[in-house]
Amino acid sequence: MNRLPADTVRLLSSCQVITSVVNVVKELLENSLDAGALSIDIKLENYGFDRIEIRDNGSGIKAADTAVMAVQHYTSKICSHDDLEHLATYGFRGEALGSICAVAEVAVTTKTSEDDVGTQYTLDLTGSVVSQKPSHLGQGTTVCALKLFKNLPVRRQYYANTKKCKEELKKVQDLLMAYAIIKPELRLTLTHNKVVLWQKAKVSDHRMALMATLGPNAVAHLLPVHHQQPEIVIDGFFPRPGMDCSLASSSNPDKTFIFVNDRPVHQKDILKVVRQHFLAQYPADSALNRYPTVMLNITVPSSTVDVNLTPDKTQILLQNKVPFSIILSISLQTDFDSQVAVLAAVETLLVSFYGPGLGSATEAPPVTTEYDGGSGLHAAPSLDDCSGNAELDNHDQGHDKGKDVEQLSAVSWSRGTALTDPSTGEPLQPVKIHLATGWSSNLGQVKAKGQSSPGKKVSNAITEKRASLTAYDLINNRAMRTPLSPAALFERETRASVLQEKPTASLQDITTAVQERWKNLGEEDRKKYEDKAKKHLERYDLQTKLASDRDVRVPERRLCLVSPLSRPQGQKRKVLPSNQPVLDQLFFSQPRKKRSPGPKPSQPLPFSVVTLRQRLHRLSFQSNPRPQGLRLVNRLASQSAWVVLCGRKLMLLNPFRVEEALLFKRLLENNILPAASLQNPIQLTDSILGGAEYTQSLCTMEKGSPELRGMAIFSDPRLVANGFQITLTPGSSSTERHLEVTAMADCVPFLGMEDLREILTAVLHRNAKTVQECRPLKVTNYLQGEAVRLARQLPVTLAKEDVEDTLLRMQQQLEETSQACIHGQAFFHHLSDIPDTEQEAPCL
């Protein structure tokens, strides 16, 4: 035998820890949460196989730990195996980052609160640091993994299928949804190929987190639950009992979230018992393969949970987990040990919420359970155990109440002969159909059984269908609401408020509460409802009277509705033959085909570009001299552009490009970026600024009045307008003065010391005096985006006066050389030149 090389061992073990993109995201996400991050951004490229980047604002990695941060089995979360009994973090093995390094190219950028600047570390296959350089990123950690599974071509080929890649992306989104629900204060974003797929903002509680994750429609029917007993606390949200199954469940378990100590887990036994109690209230065919929308968080002592079962830590082992069966066989009054089993606690909560029945309203026979400790549990319902436990309360004639009934066998139960009627000895029938013998011709009363005429056919009220209403019966019939009583009006207005105060109350409790409020209602309030009921009754009488008058005025158009009770049996409905053709024409006539509209009338108008040029030429040779500058001719409605005449040139003007350039110039000159205070000020030294001459140039800039302690704030517009607030604490010499950046603009991404150095370079080398000349590149790009955004808010159609004002401002503020917008597109498009002589016109 030969010992495997260390690289081979590392690769084999890493392939078990990192099996897919979702494993990488999960491990890095949990590291960010363990670092106390409240904002996490996940960016993927090519479904994560080309690039996975996770950025957080956590505490960062200390400089002393960066050398071994990705080495296998180095961790800051536990020190020994005993610490697992008090585990308070998601990770603990120290394998994640090292395993990612074995299957991808990894770079880590981190900055703590004590560091002046961030540092980017490049790691090799073993997790060792091979290079490092400064970074502009703020506090937190950014992990970037490139070329995932580059050295495992078979696994990368497995994910070459687009369908599998989309499934992997869906798994990543489901993982983020789980952590977004259990961490309401967490902000999450998921970006794929620079497109934001999903995001969740910071919210106040778990209900708001569910609403932000699943949507308000899915959460509207969820009710909060809470159950507490020694060492076990269960919180969550369950669908309201009795609501529509299609609204409260889905065909896959992606909306069923189960957590143990705030950790998302896949517990099949807990999911099974939750599904059983939820689906028991629906018919079996409608609830087949449905999973309820549930959020369940179980809190138990850390010493009773073992999370070190699988590499992804999604399956756990609970201490003192007893076997469980369907809740029908569990007596809720049974006393358990001091450490109550988690499954029994979940079932107790479900029974109190959904009721004790699992598919039946009566008591079910007991279920015997066995647990072998290793293979699982075996549950088998036994009908023989019903003896001595079940009593036939409705058929106990001739027996003492406490006496046991005769033992039931499985064969007699399946044949339907297990239960018999004590009086007749015949087997009990589940349903007995009663036959109606016939209707009397005068009052419609049912004749006694056995007295019907032998010539009459016996009708079955269940199997025979009555005559259904047709369109003929609905002509000239109107539905009118029956007037409500004062108590009914009060109940309609009060029921909603009672349900809002007691969301978990049953219908019987709500009705009782409404009746109590009606009894305790004052005389004045009761009189108001009586007046309302009186008005409803008067309106109903008026509508009835109007309908009767209308029927009397047109009796020939009224169809008589004959009730089966008043019509003799066997007599067919008759319709007047004179009305039949009219009704057939109304209800069975084919709709007429709409005629296709004919061509719209149009009239050609003569138009010639040559004629237009000649007329413009005549205008140019009038007594008045040729106008100087720009003149608006007309607007092209289809293009939102204007035809402009400038001397001899006929041009097309785009006014939006001009406005964009004017807005950008005004922002460059006057816009002041708001500065946000820094939690930790940045000390400025010669090395950060680029040399002593830059520090000297900064100190010569304009400053405000010094405070009592001698500290002065720079008020130079070249610094303030670019979002920098710098304070100067003078000393006895130039080496003892203290410069700090106390505030910076947070609206410009990645604004930092490089931009301050760029401002000082413009002042020192280009002798820049104005704000416009000192704008850093990042600020210039930000202001360009703001100018484009403001220009897009302009109305699509501009008035002539607005365009003339735009042209005037363009001539006053913009130079002749800058006749293009931010994107380099020209303001004017040349159409043609106006001829100066009559001889030139025909040639054009």
Helix, strand and coil content of the chain, in percent to the nearest 5, comes to: 35, 20, 45
Q: What is the arithmetic mean of pLDDT over 4-15?
A: 54
Nearest-angstrom CA–CA distance, 10 and 100 = 11
* Range list of β-strands (E), 535-668: 630-636, 641-646, 649-653
CA–CA distance, 411 with 392 (Å, rounded to integer)? 19
Report pLDDT for 492.
Answer: 85
pLDDT-derived band at 141 (thresholds 50, 70, 90) equals very high
Report the SS3 class of residue 475.
coil
pLDDT of residue 563: 41
The phi, psi pair for 767, rounded to 5°, reads 55, 45
| Per-residue pLDDT band at 735 (split at 50, 70, 90) | low
Between 61 and 838, where is the model more confident? 61
| CB of 432 closer than 8 Å to CB of 421 | no
617, 835 in Cβ contact below 8 A? yes
Q: Which two tokens stand for residue 248?
A: 């409260």
How many helices (DSSP H) and strands (DSSP E) are in the chain?
24, 27
Band of residue 436 on the pLDDT scale cut at 50, 70, 90: very low
pLDDT of residue 411: 65
When pLDDT is cut at 50, 70 and 90, the band that residue 9 belongs to is: low
pLDDT more than 70, % of the chain: 69
Phi, psi of 658 (to 5 degrees): -65, -45
Confidence of residue 109 (pLDDT cuts 50, 70, 90): very high
Residue 836 binned pLDDT confidence (cut-offs 50, 70, 90): low
51 band by pLDDT with thresholds 50, 70 and 90: very high
Beta strands 675-684; 738-745: pairing state = antiparallel
Tokens of residue 245, six digits: 């199954």
- Quick one: residue 149, left, alpha or beta (phi over 0 = left, psi -120 to 50 = alpha)? left
Predicted local confidence at residue 344, as pLDDT: 84
Which residues lie closer than 8 Å to 289 by C-beta, 6 or more apart? Answer: 251
Alpha-carbon gap, residue 190 to 213, rounded angstroms:
13
Cβ-defined contacts of 278-281 (< 8 Å, 24+): 278/238, 278/239, 278/248, 278/249, 278/350, 278/354, 279/245, 280/354, 280/357, 280/358, 280/359, 281/241, 281/242, 281/354, 281/355, 281/357
Query: Which of 323, 324, 314, 247 minimizes the C-alpha distance to 278?
Result: 247
| CA-wise closest residue to 279 among 369, 357, 223 | 357
Segment 731-748 mean pLDDT: 80
Here the contacts of 610-616 (C-beta below 8 Å, separation 24 or greater) are 610/841, 610/842, 610/844, 613/832, 613/834, 613/835, 613/841, 613/844, 614/841, 616/645, 616/650, 616/834
pLDDT of amino acid 454: 46
Q: What is the pLDDT of residue 163?
A: 87
Per residue in 691-720, pLDDT (tens digit) is: 888 888 888 898 888 776 678 899 999 999
In the predicted structure, residue 36 carries a pLDDT above the cut 60: yes
CA distance 556 to 191: 72
pLDDT(799) > 90? no
Give the up-direction half-sphere exposure of residue 582: CA atoms within 13 A in the CB hemisphere. Answer: 9
Mean pLDDT of 684-689: 87
Residues 6+ apart with CB under 8 A from 809: 662
Question: Mean pLDDT throughout 8-12?
Answer: 53
Name the band, by pLDDT with cuts 50, 70 and 90, for residue 568.
very low
Task: Dump strand ranges (E) for 347-436.
Answer: 367-371, 377-381
- Residue 815's pLDDT band, with cuts at 50, 70 and 90, is confident
Residue 586, pLDDT score? 63
Is the confidence at residue 181, as pLDDT, over 60? Answer: yes
| Cα–Cα dist 265/257, whole Å | 8
In DSSP terms, which residues pair with 145 in a beta bridge? 52, 106
What is the band of 78 on the pLDDT scale with cuts at 50, 70, 90?
A: low
Is 44's pLDDT higher than 90? Answer: yes
Please return the burial class of 590, using the count of CB atoms within 10 Å of its CB with bins 0-12, 13-18 and 19+: exposed
Residue 554 has pLDDT above 90, yes or no: no
Mean pLDDT of 776-790: 92
* Cα 203 from Cα 187, distance rounded (Å): 8
User: Rounded to an integer, what distance in angstroms lies between the CA atom of residue 580 and that of residue 610?
Assistant: 72
**Residue 429 — very low, low, confident or very high, per pLDDT cuts 50/70/90?**
low
**Given pLDDT bands bounded at 50, 70 and 90, which one contains residue 252?**
confident
pLDDT at 823: 84
Say whether pLDDT at 43 is over 90: yes
Residue 566's pLDDT is: 43
Confidence of residue 580 (pLDDT cuts 50, 70, 90): low
**pLDDT-derived band of residue 587, with 50, 70 and 90 as boundaries?**
low
Q: pLDDT digits over 412-428, tens only?
A: 766 667 777 777 777 77
Contact 798, 655 (CB under 8 A): yes
Q: What is the mean pLDDT of residues 475-479?
A: 54
Q: For residue 268, count CB atoms less than 10 angstroms from its CB and return exposed for 0-12, middle for 13-18, buried for 19 or more.
A: exposed
pLDDT-derived band at 96 (thresholds 50, 70, 90) equals confident
Query: Cα separation of 390 and 379, whole Å?
Result: 20
**Residue-averaged pLDDT of the chain:** 75
* 461-to-436, 466, 483 alpha-carbon distances in Å: 6, 9, 32
CA 468 to chain CA mean position, Å:
47
pLDDT score, position 594: 56
> CB under 8 Å to 20, separation ≥6 — which residues?
159, 168, 171
Checking if the pLDDT of 558 tops 50, the result is no
**DSSP secondary structure code for residue 194 in this structure:** T
Distance CA 558, CA 80 (A): 92
Contact in structure between 828 and 658 (CB atoms under 8 Å): no
